[in-house]
Amino acid sequence: MQKIGVFVCWCGSNIAQTVDVQAVSDALAKEPGVVYSTNYQYMCSEAGQNLIKDAVKEYGLTGVVICSCSPRMHEATFRKAVASVGLNPYMLEVANIREQCSWIHKDKEVGTEKAIILGRAAIAKVQLNAPLQAGESPVVKRALVIGGGIAGIQTALDIAEAGFEVDIVEKNPTIGGKMTQIDKTFPTLDCAACILTPKMVDCAQNEKIHIYSYSELKEVKGFVGNFSVKINKKARYVDENKCTGCGECTTKCPMKNVPNEFNLGMDNRRAIYIPFAQAVPKVATIDPNYCNMLKNGKCGLCAKVCGAGAIDYKQQDQVIEEKYGAIVVATGYNPIKLDKFDEFGYSLSKDVITSLEFERLTNAAGPTSGTLLRPSDGKHPHTIVFVQCVGSRDTSGCGKPYCSKICCMYTAKHAMLTREKYPDTDVYVFYIDVRSPGKNYDEFYRRAVEQYGVHYIKGMVGKVAPRADGKIMVQASDLLANEQLHIEADLVVLAAAIEPDKSARPLATMLTASMDTNDFFTEAHAKLRPVESPTAGIFLSGACQGPKDIPDTVSQASAAAAKVIGLLVKDKLTTNPCVAQSNELMCNGCSSCEKVCPYGAITYIDKEFRMPDRTTRIRRVASVNPAVCQGCGACTVACPSGAMDLKGFSNSQIMAEVDAICQMK
Amino acid sequence: MQGMMLNRAKELLSDGTVNRVLGWQAGEFVYDITPAVFETEEELDAGFVYNGFCGNNLSKYLVKETLKDGKILVFLKPCDTYSFNQLLTEHRIDREKICAIGIPCDGKTSGEMLKAKGISGITGISEDADNFVVDTIYGQTTVAKADALEERCKTCKSKKHVAYDELLGEDGEILDSHRFDMVAKLEAMTPDERFAFWREQLSKCIRCNACRNVCPACTCEQCVFDNPKSGIAQKAAADSFEENMFHIIRAFHVAGRCTDCGECSRVCPQNIPLHLLNRKFIKDINELYGDYQAGAEVGTRAPLTNYTQEDVEPSIVYHREGK
Amino acid sequence: MLKISLANLDALFAAIAEKEALYIPTDKAGQAQYMRYENGMKMTDALNTVRSAKDFFFPQTENLVNFKVSGKTIEIIDPRTEHEDFVVFGVRACDVRSFSILDKVFLLSDPVDTYYENRRKHGTIVSMACTRPSETCFCGSFGIDAANPEGDAVCWKTEDSLYIQAVTEKGEALIEKIRPVLEETDDSAVEAQKAATREIMGKLPLAKFSTEKFGGEVLMKVFDSEKWASLSEACLGCGTCTFVCPTCQCYDIRDYDTGHGIQRFRCWDSCMYSDFTLMAHGNSRLTQKERFRQRFMHKLVYFPANNNGEYGCVGCGRCLSKCPISMNIVKVAKSLEGDL
Amino acid sequence: MPNEVKAFKPKIVAFCCNWCSYAGADLAGTNRLAYPADVKIIRVPCSCRVNPMFILRAFQRGADGVILCGCHPGDCHYTTGNYYARRRMTLLFSMLDFLGIEKERTRVEWVSAAEGAKFAATMNDFVATVTALGENKRLEDLRCKE
């Protein structure tokens, strides 16, 4: 019988509010084997950990049960604490009475009763725990960054700086991401391209960094320190090594009417294209949806004009397999589609545009070469209405419930820049709140209002209606003046909410990484581990984790890089000791377990056994390689004799938990 | 056939090809045949028999016999050869130590089957092509063989030998046996009817373990039900749950490995149709994952240690045809 | 001698069932087995039930003591209650004799098995003479008269009537309770049937079978016989023979954890099982040969050695028809007796 | 209120794989998505760790419903575990149904780490289903009841 200590955490009021922690520790004190039971405000705090350590020493505890938050959160913390006072860390179990109890139950009586049962189950399990020793596994000293926007670029550069190999996988033909489409950046108003493109070039030139552009992840296997990844390098029909990026082909291609995604469809590109002048890699790509040669074998003009002979219409998708020690997710964001927002008339008029489109309209490399002109008639707009929170902070279900964070600032930037360049323009900004926390942000916003005379109006736009004469009627309410406004605008700019890139969800699935209901990746801890996913070895960089502006993104990108470097500098990781083990005396040698093992961890040996009647017998028995076994347990069920069991999750432990949970009352 | 087998066994014994012969030994009443190992020609002459009552599947004895030195001759009926292959697949027997002779089978019966026809006081039985002629102290009765066959033989899946070193007599064909008819009939019942059916049957269980111990798929060094550390060890079916538990788990442990030899039902002293549980798994496997006959070949991957990405979801159980 | 017309058998059963719990052998799920009588239930035509009647006094599982665990306290609970009075109807001569063998083990020597005693005290045995014995029957070898069984009351079934006669006080008390449905008659029909049955018994294949060469005197000779190896060769190690046997009396005691306590129960054990008499050091009977030998040594040698020559077998023939490999006491005895 | 009939509260055991479904359950908690306290979760490394014995054991000890949650097929942390679990559970559930035991008492649901809402919804639905079925009678062990 173990000597068990039970420690019930209040988690401030997170647990204590719906679970009577005193009642839980009192009830669990009565369980067989429990010699000490207490509760404390924050078990994970130093004082809390000391409480546990002291009790282990004072009562000679052989087993510890912590009733607290999810073991995915603090199991490692507590295991480390008990190990520091000499108790085997695997003699500790966590009963999850927060995520799976206090947070989902409102009734204190119900919560308390359930917490006691969960505690009992953990006690029942600990009774059967055995000390386990962790093994070691090597770390592949190479990182993978998924996404080549500013987040991915920064992370990759920082990791490479520390001397580790990094691969960037970018689904578009060039790295750079959303930042390449932005004209100027707040609050300094320096040109986005000027600060981004050198970094892109750095990436291309850094010998530690390899860029897989126009590529996507196909499969991820393995675990922290040893991921095995298949990357699908899409056929771009241009040999990257031969193409010099001269751009000759992109001027000769006869397919001229392909919407140019770089300018958000506001102008056209050819079927063979380089997204923009500073693209990295600066290599042409053929769009197979528009290329005549690829569609019906007629044309071949680009091949003729290519001096380097880089065009290869027969190119196939190529699957590259590579091993990585760590994976960084930097998949970024996109503005939401606005087709559900009829009231803003986005689909009714070309002159109702999104903020990102506005960026392109003011950018020198944009469709208007940087002159602000109405998309419909190319005329200079004199009245511009900016609408904030389009789809953000929206609980109607059409948009997103969260604040997109960046819109207030970029709208201030747009308004300010417009007024500066075109002082004859009337600029209105409709807002719910103006949120400008951040260094020099509020000053920036105030400048827009005070120096540049932008009309900031608190209130929401009710209707945007294009008129036959080209004017756009904006109906809105001014909440402060308490009046209805009717503005005849020439251009309406919508600050569309941002959402995670569509590729994020399937990627999360591949990585077995958590996501929240909005498809943002979940961090391991919102405050303490903001750049790590709960899945070991997966790190988060940039807007894939939540809306972020460039400074935040870059900070997080560097933080993620630091975490990756911390992992890659290790030669070995201690491995999970919860691995399968075969009881040779009961093993039939039937090979069922071997067949279901995904790691090839099971082999067979012929071994001599002394039988009860003093004869010897050579029997074929299974042998598990603990360094290779990952502890899934598939073999344990395949084994008919029950010879195969899993340490840490043994048959008897799981059945003890079942018993404790089902105990009739 | 008995004569041919006897002669061949003697030849192989005398020329040293084999050291022992695994076959069937005559008993008191014609029908009470015991599997036996014969080491000499004299022993063979004294007791070796092969007739319509030699139902025992001898393949499982090879687990024990191939641990011994020397080579053993075993006679295998078509359905026994499937068990033989399955045991080879699972590395439970040593092929090198076995000389397997395939022998034909017209289906088997048993004393129990005859007694179920109201025959009692049996003093002698003779058989011709179609009939058993049974002498009893109460008179003589003739029973058509087809009527007296064991259930497993009435729905025989194969007269074809899937493994042998030599064959005596003609090899047969794999049959279209309608062996799943009874399973289908049960499936067509309401859950309440099925529950009543199985409760009535399984409540007869006395947990003698005959089904398990005779089963060629149950060759575990120690069965989970005998292992106090397994947490589910049972020595007696103490209540209805344990009756269910034992038979569900046993069927599950042999699922995908059971060749449907029917020994479990043959030996059950309470005549519980245990083979229906195994056949239910076989039928499900065939329907859900494609036809699979355990033991048809050596080395195949059993359905439960295999998968495809397109496998049906467990929810199919809620949506399937029937009640 | 009292009798009742077979057509009126229901009335007889109803009359008994009204006073006490009544069990009769009936056909259930294709097998003859004892069931608690319910209106309309018919007696089986089978010679005997698959399971013997020993279940009534020595059931396969029986709770001995319960431990109620709550927190760190354990309460000990005796689950015994006074057993209800019951009647077992239609027990064959062989099975009736098995009770006296079990009595010797559980009742007539110290310590008395109070669980067995409780059931035995409250049970009334109504036996049934045989008319159509089977080739597997050899009760005669043990001095049992299938035509005139023992019991608290005895029945004979003829073409049209059931005859019943009390033998013990218990039997008389029972018949007193059901007297109204019975009518007085002479015993001529019964005597005629007895003679007929005895004649058939004489013609059975095992009529001459005898175990008289076995007993305590030949203990080592039997024990050391080389024939055990081949006799046990095909034994599956299942418990069929022991569990259908009316005289096998070995049991194991186990604890069952109910989640809120322990039920300490006993259940039939079988010397054929690999964990029979398993001790901390291991098992003294190392292979199936020793386990197999134990069963027959017990019935043919140890039991008579300890019980004035009475064998631990009643010749019911259940093991002959139920053993999956058709190995049984008759084959064993016949094989070994040549050496004695 | 001695005469008041206590509403039936089912006992539900949910086996959740550590990587997806347990994380999904945590996420349901983090997002405060309620489901009945009748559900108690047992953490297993993978859905393939769940032995049919555990499921029967739960029923024996008084569970009224048992649900197994794992990563979506194709997303197993161990690559193939849930494929084996899928076959095993399909056959086991089919067998329970064959024995006339209510098939609605057992369920397999694939819940990813991102599907906190699905986890809560699944549990709400399963509890409702099992509550409607009432107490587990067909696979109960009377010894375990008091």
Q: What is the pLDDT of residues A332-373, one digit of tens each?
A: 999 999 988 889 999 999 999 999 999 999 999 999 999 999
- Ramachandran area for residue A255 (φ above 0: left; ψ -120 to 50: alpha; else beta): beta
What's the order of all strands across the beta sheet hosting D12-17? D39-44, D12-17, D65-70, D106-110
Residue A105, pLDDT above cutoff 90: yes
Instruction: Using the structure block, give the residue that is written with the tokens 């608690």.
Output: C36
Above 90 in pLDDT, residue A53? yes
The domain of B216 spans 180-323
Chains that touch B (3 or more CB pairs under 8 A): A, C, D
- Enumerate the residues of chain A whose CB falls inside 8 A of the CB of residue D111: none
Contact between residue B150 and residue B56 where contact means Cβ atoms under 8 Å apart? no
Interface test with A, best of C68, C70, C72 (most A CBs within 10 A): C72
Contacts of B231 in chain D (CB under 8 A): 53, 57
Q: Is a pLDDT exceeding 90 seen at residue A628?
A: no
The amino acid at B18: V
Indicate which of D46, D69, D71, D90 best probes the interface with B, i.e. most B CBs within 10 Å of its own CB: D90
Q: How many CB pairs under 8 A join C and D?
A: 9
A311 DSSP 8-state letter: B
Q: What is the distance between the alpha carbons of residues A339 and A352, in angstroms, rounded to a whole number?
A: 12
Q: Is residue B280 part of a domain?
A: yes
Q: How far is residue D44's CA from residue D66's CA, in Å, rounded to a whole number?
A: 14
In order of A134, A246, A335, B115, B263, the CA distances from B150 in angstroms are: 57, 85, 73, 12, 10
Looking at chain C, how many residues does it have?
A: 340
D81 contacts in A (CB within 8 Å)? 598, 632-634
Q: How far apart are CA B199 and CA C328, in angstroms?
A: 31
pLDDT over 80 at A202, yes or no: yes
Fill in the amino acid letter for A417.
L
pLDDT for the residue numbered B323? 42
Copy the structure tokens of residue C243: 């569990």
For residue C270, the distance in angstroms to the closest alpha carbon of chain A comes to 20
DSSP output for A320-359: EEEEESEEEE---EEEPP-TT-GGGTTTT-TTEEEHHHHH
Pair (B200, B321) in one structural domain: yes
Q: Are D66 and D109 in contact (CB under 8 A)?
A: no
Give me the helices (H) in A422-520, please.
441-450, 504-511
- What is the CB neighbour count within 10 angstroms for residue B146? 12
B170 and B98 inside one domain: yes
Instruction: Give how far C313 is from chain A: nearest CA, Å.
Output: 30
Domain ranges of chain C: 2-203, 216-337
Q: How far apart are CA B316 and CA C3, in angstroms?
A: 61
Contact by Cβ (8 Å): A78, A43 = yes
Contact criterion met (CB below 8 Å) for A99 and A128: no
Place of tokens 């991102």: D114
Cβ of B127: how many Cβ atoms within 10 Å? Answer: 18
What residues contact residue B208 under an 8 Å CB cut-off, 6+ apart? B269, C238, C239, C240, C242, C243, C244, C270
Residue B80 maps to a domain: yes
Cβ neighbourhood burial of A498 (10 Å; 0-12, 13-18, 19+): buried
Whether B153 maps to a domain, the answer reads: no
User: Is D12-144 CATH 3.80.10?
Assistant: no
Q: What is the pLDDT of residue A665?
A: 56
Q: How far apart are CA A466 and CA A460, in angstroms?
A: 18
Mean pLDDT of C39-43: 92
Cα–Cα distance measured from residue A225 to residue A143, given in angstroms and rounded to the nearest whole number:
9
Q: Which residues in D have their CB inside 8 Å of a CB on B?
A: 52-53, 56-57, 59-60, 73-74, 80, 83-84, 86-104, 106-108, 138-143
**Contact (Cβ atoms closer than 8 angstroms) between residue A145 and residue A169:** yes
Cβ atoms B63, B275 nearer than 8 A: no
C259–A664 CB contact, under 8 Å: yes
Q: Is residue B72 over pLDDT 90?
A: yes
> Helix D52-60 and helix A651-662: axis angle, to 10°?
30
Q: Give all domains of chain A, ordered by start, each with its CATH number.
A: 4-134 (3.40.50), 142-234+322-332+501-572 (3.50.50.60), 248-305 (no CATH), 334-499 (3.50.50.60), 580-646 (3.30.70.3270)
Mean pLDDT, chain A, integer: 94
The SS3 assignment for C231 reads helix
What percent of chain A shows pLDDT beyond 70?
100
Specify whether B79 is located in the same domain as B218: no
Residue C179 has pLDDT above 60, yes or no: yes
The tens digit of pLDDT for each residue in B99-132 reads: 999 999 999 999 988 988 889 999 999 888 889 9
CA B208 – CA C268 distance, rounded (Å)? 10
The pLDDT of residue D5 is: 62
Q: Measure A166 CA to nearest chain B CA, in Å.
A: 32
Distance CA A72, CA A78 (A): 11
Q: How far is A648 from chain C (nearest CA, A)?
A: 22
Radius of gyration of chain D (CA): 15
The region that residue B263 occupies, defined by phi over 0 for left and psi between -120 and 50 for alpha, beta otherwise, is alpha
Amino acid present at C52? S
pLDDT tens digits for range A491-526? 999 999 999 999 999 998 888 777 887 999 988 777
A612/C286 CB distance under 8 A: yes
Comparing CB atoms, the residue among D95, D142, D143 nearest residue B280 is D95
Residues of chain B positioned with their CB less than 8 A from the CB of C268: 235-236
Residue D40 touches partner C, C-beta closer than 8 Å:
no
Partners of B21 in beta bridges: B38, B73
Evaluate whether C126 touches C164 at the Cβ level (below 8 Å): yes
- Whether B221 sits inside 8 A of A620 (CB atoms) is no
Which candidate, D19, A444, B58, places its Cα nearest to that of C236?
Answer: B58
What CA–CA distance (Å, rounded) separates A411 from A292? 41
Task: Tell me if residue A573 falls in helix, strand or coil.
Answer: strand
What pLDDT shows up at residue D1?
43
Please indicate whether, in this complex, the C-beta atoms of C135 and B270 are within 8 angstroms of each other: no
What is the band of B321 on the pLDDT scale with cuts at 50, 70, 90?
low
Please name the residue of chain D whose CA is at the shortest distance from the CA of residue A520. D114
* C125: its two tokens: 């045995």
- Assess whether pLDDT exceeds 70 at residue D4: no
Angle at D96 between CA D107 and CA B89, to 5 degrees: 100
Assess whether B118 and B266 both reside in one domain: no
DSSP string covering B199-265: HHHHTT-----HHHHH-TT---SS-TTT-GGGS---SS--SHHHHHHHHHHHHHHHTTT-----HHH
- A109-162 confidence digits (pLDDT tens): 999 999 999 999 999 999 999 999 988 889 999 999 999 999 999 999 999 999
What number of residues does chain A have? Answer: 665
Cβ neighbourhood burial of C176 (10 Å; 0-12, 13-18, 19+): exposed
Whether A114 sits inside 8 A of D37 (CB atoms) is yes
pLDDT for the residue B20: 96
State the alpha helices, DSSP H only, in A422-440. Answer: none
Q: DSSP strand E in A121-241: where?
A: 135-138, 142-146, 165-169, 184-185, 190-191, 209-212, 215-223, 226-233
Please report the pLDDT score of residue D127 as a whole number.
Answer: 97
DSSP string for B29-47: SSS--EEEEE-SHHHHHHH
Question: Is the confidence at residue A329, as pLDDT, over 60?
Answer: yes
Residue A62: the pLDDT is 97
Task: Check residue B118 and give its pLDDT.
Answer: 87
Q: What b/e string do you get for C185-203 counting C-beta neighbours within 10 Å, with b at 16 or more?
A: eeeebbeebbeebeebbee
Total domains present in chain B: 3
Given CB atoms, is B280 within the 8 Å cutoff of chain D? yes
Q: Does A587 touch chain B (CB under 8 A)?
A: yes
Tokens describing residue A395: 């609980």
Asked if B136 and B119 count as a contact pair (C-beta separation under 8 A), the reply is yes
The first and second tokens of residue D62, run together, are 């008084």
Give the amino acid at B152. R
A460 bridge partner residues: none
- The whole-number pLDDT of residue C72 equals 81
pLDDT in the model for residue A664 = 62
